[in-house]
Structure 1
Amino acid sequence: MYFRKPQSGDYPTQFETYVKVVPEGDLNELLCSQEEEILASFRSCGEELSMFRYQEDKWSVKEVLGHIMDTERIMSYRLLCASRGDKTSLPRHQDIYVSLTNFDRRPLVDLIEEYRTVRAATRSLVRGLTEEELNRSGVIIQDKTTAAALVYFILGHAAHHLHVFRERYLSHLSKF
């Protein structure tokens, strides 16, 4: 489904960084093509390099993928709420999830499969939405956010971490 790119006022200002990097287009196609990019990128490092951190205080490869999944799950729930017209104020999402779990204990192949499942659920939700539902809004803290803006956030957040992954992880891993 092609849907116009959200404009300022459709989402909290904190979303701007993520929304601006996503091109306007068919939401399902954007989700599918990005999924393939993410899968190819994370598969390319393999289990033996999946514990790599480009600095001691940075996330491992597995933790980056775990963070992408956790954020997509949270934002998909918010997308569901907004698309259904739920105006309940939802709390801001924190980055504590990575520090409170241990993605590194799991095989990378399992995390990749889990990511595929998470993205498939997001695609299914988005595919089932009408234009009217995508235009509905929800509330995060006190900021109005349209359902469409949440799809763009999901895409932009994943794009941001994919860019960081390629720049700071894969560039180092290619030396091994």
Structure 2
Amino acid sequence: MVQRPASEEYNPYFAVYIDRVPDGDIVEQLRRQQSTLVELLDAIPSEKLTYRYAPGKWSVAQLIGHIADTERVMSYRLLRVARGDRTPLPGFDQDLFVANSNFDEWTVGSLKDEYEAVRKSTLSLLQGLPASAFAFRGVVGGNETSTAALAYIIAGHELHHVDILRRLYL
């Protein structure tokens, strides 16, 4: 089982995500999250996809797209670190990603398909890693980051946004 990353394994910025993740098997946590988010998506009416709780905030569709995009980026980082690549990896601009998407034109079904494809890929990657790879570290956004931390960031980031979705959008 992958151990919860120590604070020196990631940028303190990500503690808000990592701290949300319950104890236990991170792969099982990610599987459970997938079921939870898919059920949530199935309950969202089409007309609610472009809803924003305040001016300048992302829509429901953009929030779901952001979850998938961020997981894809973090999973790529995880792959690089897990394979021992120490090449520094830059940050990314989440607002630019959303601004250059067309998520507001997607259907609930297409958002769900995108999310499930990304999560399936992440789970496959994690399940294929040797236990030793979770301790590997690389440089992400200028900070030493472990493979384990990236797995926890993926899970915690989704938990963070699902909480926002429930509290402010639905």
- State whether TM-score is above 0.5: yes
What is the Cα deviation at residue 29 of structure 1?
0.7
What is the Cα deviation at residue 108 of structure 1?
1.6
Alpha-carbon distance in structure 1 between the residues aligned to 2:92 and 2:22: 24
1:91 counterpart = 2:90: yes
SS of 1:25 mapped into structure 2:
coil
Amino acid at match of 1:25: G
In structure 1, what is the equivalent of residue 11 of structure 2? 12
Q: State the TM-score, normalized to the length of structure 1.
A: 0.93
Amino acid at match of 2:4: K
In structure 2, what is the equivalent of residue 71 of structure 1? 70
In structure 2, what is the equivalent of residue 173 of structure 1? none
Contact 2:139 2:145 in 1 (8 A): yes
In structure 1, what is the equivalent of residue 100 of structure 2? 100
Which aligned pairs between 1:18-97 and structure 2 lie closer than 5 A?
18-95=17-94, 96-97=96-97
| 1:126-152 C-alpha deviation (Å, 9 max, x unpaired) | 011111011111111321100010000
Q: State the TM-score, normalized to the length of structure 2.
A: 0.96
In structure 2, what is the equivalent of residue 135 of structure 1? 135
In structure 1, what is the equivalent of residue 156 of structure 2? 156
Which portions of structure 1, spanning 4 or more consecutive aligned residues, are displaced by more than 2 angstroms?
A: none
Alpha-carbon distance in structure 1 between the residues aligned to 2:64 and 2:46: 13
Contact 1:92 1:141 in 2 (8 A): yes
Contact 1:134 1:147 in 2 (8 A): yes
Contact 2:81 2:136 in 1 (8 A): yes
Report the aligned-residue RMSD: 0.9
Alpha-carbon distance in structure 2 between the residues aligned to 1:27 and 1:130: 14
| 1:27-85 C-alpha deviation (Å, 9 max, x unpaired) | 22111001111111122112121111111211111100000000000000000001001
Alpha-carbon distance in structure 1 between the residues aligned to 2:141 and 2:34: 29
Identity %: 40
Contact 2:44 2:108 in 1 (8 A): no
Amino acid at match of 1:29: E
Alpha-carbon distance in structure 1 between the residues aligned to 2:84 and 2:53: 42
Amino acid at match of 2:26: L
Amino acid at match of 1:150: L
1:3 counterpart = 2:7: no
